[in-house]
Amino acid sequence: MILNDEDIAEVEPVTPFVRDLQTDEKISYGLGSFGYDIRIDDEFRIFTDVHSTEINPKEFNEDAFVQVKGESCLIPPNSFCLGKSLEKFDMPDDLFGLVVGKSTYARCGIIVNMTPIEPGWKGFLTIEISNTTPLPARIYANEGIAQVVFFRGERPITTYGDRDGKYQDQEGIEVAKI
């Protein structure tokens, strides 16, 4: 079953929890009718070729990134960056989250990708952002970046927390792990 605003407010799966959708001169965030719009924090990692390294998920090289902190982040053309959610998640064992990018950014060629949020998962989400345009693209810290749609089901036999998944309790921007 998909959760509406009343159901989401009862669970409060994120901290801080904003009960009303905030829209004043910002990219919206907070509780919506059938989802919760999350914000992106002010720390970013932008892929760079300065060190002429390759991207390999089995042997990830931290030199592939330049770290940026600020009110916004300018992503180079046809490039990619990582960020993290401002909100911390604490998913109940019977709740599943599906994360989708915001239309405001998608209409600018900025694509947000994240994996589903599994039952029992806790931590800050690492957010993957692609600039698909031939121009630099700006994203704004402390404003909306994606929406999480929550589904309630029966508790699975094994939750993400039960299996102590490799991204459990992440506090910062996490790169690929094997």
Task: State the catalytic residue, choosing from 87, 128, 143, 174.
Answer: 128
C-beta atoms surrounding 91 within 10 Å? 22
128 is catalytic: yes
Q: Smallest Cα–Cα separation from 149: which of 36, 39, 38? A: 36
Catalytic site positions: 128
